[in-house]
Amino acid sequence: MRLLRTLLFRLVSTAVTLVGVAVIVFVVIRIVPGNPIAMMLPPGATPEDIALLTAHYGLDKSIPEQFFIWAGGVLQGDFGTSITARQPVLTLVLGRLPATLELSIMALVIAVILGGAAALTGTRERGTKIEAGIDVTNGMALSIPDFLWGLILILLFGVAWPLFHISGRVTPSLDLPFTTDFYLFESVIRLRFDIWADIVSHMFLPALALAIPLAAIIGQLLKQSLKETMHFDYVTLARTKGYGETRVITREALPNAVLPTLTLVGVQFTFLIGGTVIIERLFSYQGLGNMAIDAVINRDLPLIQGIVILFAVIFTVVNLVVDLTYALLNPRLRHA
Amino acid sequence: MELTRRKLMQITAASAAAGAIGLPARAQDINELVIAYNVNLPSWDPTTGPSAVNPTIQGFYQSVFDQFIQQKPDLNPAPGLLTQWGWNDDRSKVMMTVRPGVTWHDGSPFTAEDVAWSLARAADPKTGNPINFIWSTLENFKADGNTVTADVKQFDPTIFKWMYFLTGYVLPKAYYEKVGPEGFEAAPIGTGPYMVQKFERNAFVQLKANPNYWGGKPDFENVTIKFVTDAAARVAEVESGNAHVTLEMPYEEYDRLKGKLNGVAAPISDIGMIFLNDVDAMLDPNVRKACAHAIDKQTIIDRLLSGYGVKIDTLQTPQYDAYDSSISVAYDPGKAKELLKASGYGPDNPVKFKIQTTKGFKPKDYEMIQAIVGLWRRVGIEAEIEVYEIAKHYELRAADTLAPAAFYNWGNSVGDPSTSTGFAMFGPSPHSVWDGKDLIEKIGALWGEPDEQKRIAGYKAVDRYIAENALVIPLLQYVQPILSAKGVKVTPHASGALLPHLMKRA
């Protein structure tokens, strides 16, 4: 019952948040300097030409009028038309969303694997030089931002040892037999491992660049949780039963220690999606982030609105899922 | 299926092996020329929307579509789809002759009807052509055999130059009317040297050579243009062999790689300049002239741009029609001090104003302004730098609210003085910053001047007047660095467009 109440409350607050984001974004991008008409004015345009172009893009109306026209369209699934691409905004952003989601999920998986391995190894080897080495590595991973990791990875594995692709999402010459834009998942479903390998080769470096700082955070927090849990009585009991240290850590301590990390991973996943903006640009990866930068540079107002709203939806939904998962996994909340 | 540790390790090993299969090829077949381009292509219609007036993406359009008149790499016009063009004696009509035997990419014949329709469409404000006001100076377009005629509504001596400038493209009438704007966007066709095979927005475009191209089949059968907007990533692409050609990288990187790869760095039609607004301190001619004389342009080019730039003293580059090498503004800090002293300023009592600049929009833009501010400080000018985005510059300029000094780059790929000095310095133009009446009168008299020699001479006189009164500070003509694999020879185009059909096997 309490869970249901929480769910309903979160759904309502999510809707209010999204409306708030929509209003703020709409107003702010119209107030900040740089309007799209000024950017496309050719030399010699007269005031009449400017007025004609402004009306052509519907920017001659007041901001409240523009908002209600746009909001009315959104309620019917019409997010407007991109000024630069002259395509429906919804088609454009939904076409790019799978690429960004796949990249973020791959980065998350890599981060969990690296961070988890560091935490488990650090806990098992606590007090030794190995733990100290892991702490130093974690510190380095955290103090270097993801875009710099991207540049380092490009130079190392794109130029010095060209093991991976450094731009794009897939080799242009490949014929893609896909019906969705989830290339990675669909290639597995269709058993096209040649395409899958090509996609992974394109995604690996940007995903790794995104994953390294997050892996460090996961590693630090999980190791701390594990070390605290290792002092609990039931862990001592497991040891007295003669279980090995690895089994004690993975089977006894980990299930309880993982909860705070799970919450963190959920929150960090939203930041990870935000981080794709720069990384996608650096690796010329055709996701939402790359599209967002172009939209801002070109002052493509409908497209900026669409992308920000979609990012807001992702953030709120991920947070909602994390909260619900936490509630389900935490016995104290589940049985309350 | 239960996932055991052994199975997990097996899957991991299989993944690694599969990943190895997908590794990038080091020595790609040169039949597929790969270009790492510095900008995205947002849309395929070269006549509408912001893309149509974005000079940096015209190279994409010129690979697929032909312009009414062709433009040679040195900016001069050449017969293209139009083989002849001109006015009648009283300038009340234009006549154009259309090239016979040309076909569209779908095999249908190109006709004079296509030219007439394209011109009429460009002049129609409903299509969203940002330059329709130029095209609408013509009306009543008629096709008859291989000839197209139109009535001149308002005489514009540059109308034929616009036919190889922004939005001056010929589109297929029958095909466009059949598929509509969305269908054309999805599958564009032209008469150009390359046909669009595949287009992935924000990622790449694949082109295939047009076997029937009237100008001869291009050297490279298949071309892939990847959109790599980050300069460091572009350098890595060409250095690793993933791309054969790239452009617009830092000059230091160009110098580092030009021995290992083919390098060409040629001047293009973009210039760097400082707009002076007729407000505050800039109303004092001594201050303006001092600003101009205190800048050591050549040293800035040598130190900041590794020598890649051409010093200019007017808004014309040496390739432009109205370039006059006799007009010069000397670097003379002594004279700058004298001028300031006459107005009561000096190093101890500096004249103060704001200068606006972009940072990273053009090579070393901010650093150049920093250097200029440093040079100004020595003579008694204290300028405060404000960094803004290029979008803000456009908005402030259209509203005529720029700071007293503002850095900008001006492109003019047709090289006509009306599209450099004319639009940049004619007060009523939304792109002009200086609004002096004397200049409005001088330039205004040249807009409709039918005598070409008189018109060009008139602009040279205007440029001399501008230089003598320091109404704008031209700085340099940019040089575009291009790197290519040893097997590829690139012919640079002075407009700055990187054109695959001008690339040959070395």
Q: Does B226 touch chain A (CB under 8 A)?
A: yes
According to the model, what pLDDT value does residue B379 have? Answer: 96
Strand bridging mode B351-357 / B381-387:
parallel
- The C-alpha atoms of residue B27 and residue B446 are separated, in whole angstroms, by 56
B132: nearest Cα among B118, B144, B142: B118
ipTM of the prediction: 0.76
Does pLDDT of B9 surpass 60?
A: no
Mark which residues 209-238 of A lie under 8 Å from B by CB. Answer: none
The residue that leads in pLDDT, A327 or B110, is B110
**Residue found under tokens 């004249």:** B351
In chain B, which residue's Cα lies nearest the Cα of A155? B236
Q: How far is B233 from chain A (nearest CA, A)?
A: 6
- Among A284, A293, A299, which would you mutate to test the B interface (most chain B Cβ atoms within 10 Å of its Cβ)? A284
Contact call for A43 and B395, based on CB within 8 A: no
B277, pLDDT greater than 70: yes
User: What percent of chain B lies above the pLDDT cut of 90?
Assistant: 78
> Residue B365: pLDDT band by 50, 70, 90 thresholds?
very high
| Preferred mutation among B32, B240, B483 to probe A, highest tally of A CBs within 10 A | B240
The whole-angstrom separation of Cα A193 and Cα B17 is 11
A176 part of contact set with chain B, CB < 8 Å: no
Q: Which of A32, A37, A41 to mutate to test the interface with B (most CBs of B within 10 A)?
A: A41
Q: Identify each DSSP E strand in B280-422 by its residue range.
A: 309-311, 351-357, 381-387, 405-411
- Please check the confidence at residue A288 and state whether its pLDDT lies above 50: yes
Residue A192 touches chain B, beta carbons under 8 Å: no
Predicted local confidence at residue B12, as pLDDT: 45
Closest CA to B248 of B8, B497, B505: B497
Place of tokens 């590693």: A219
Q: Which of A34, A50, A83 sits opposite B430 (nearest CB)?
A: A50
B444 to chain A, any CB pair closer than 8 A? The answer is no
Which class would CATH give A96-335?
Answer: mainly alpha
Question: pLDDT band for position B74 (50/70/90)?
Answer: very high
Question: Any CB–CB contact under 8 A between A177 and chain B?
Answer: no
Q: What is the pLDDT of residue A1?
A: 65
A19-33, A216-230, B19-33: least confident range: B19-33
- Give B320→chain A minimum CA distance, Å: 17
Instruction: Decide if A146 contacts A275 (C-beta within 8 A).
Output: yes
pLDDT of the residue at B286: 97
Q: Among all residues of chain A, which has the CA nearest to that of B53?
A: A40
Residue A52: its chain B contacts at CB < 8 A?
A: 125
- Which residue in chain B is spatially nearest to A204 when comparing CA positions? B19
* pLDDT at residue B481 tops 60: yes
Assign A327 a pLDDT band (cuts: 50, 70, 90). Answer: confident
Residues composing chain A: 336
Q: Does residue A43 carry a pLDDT above 70?
A: no
End-to-end CA distance of chain A: 9
Residue B157: name the closest of B456, B440, B431, B429 by CA. B456
Give domain limits for chain A: 2-75, 96-335
Helix (H, G, I), strand (E, B) or coil at B395: helix
Q: Tell me, what's the pLDDT at A234? A: 86
Residue type for B154, please? Answer: Q
CA distance A196 to A187: 5
- What does the mean pLDDT of chain B come to? 91
Q: Is A87 on the interface with B (CB under 8 A)?
A: yes
- Asked if A264 and A217 count as a contact pair (C-beta separation under 8 A), the reply is yes
Instruction: Express each pLDDT in A94-121 by its tens digit.
Output: 999 999 999 999 999 999 999 999 999 9
Are residues B233 and A194, on separate chains, in Cβ contact within 8 Å? no
CB A202 within 8 A of CB B272: no
**B36 contact residues in A (CB cutoff 8 A):** 167
Chain B contact set for A193 (CB, 8 A): 18
Q: Does B39 touch chain A (CB under 8 A)?
A: no
> pLDDT digits over B161-209, tens only?
999 999 999 999 999 999 999 899 999 999 999 999 999 888 899 999 9
Place of tokens 């309903």: A8
Please report residues of A whose CB lies closer than 8 A to that of B397.
Answer: 38
How far apart, in whole angstroms, are the C-alpha atoms of residue B459 and residue A178? 58
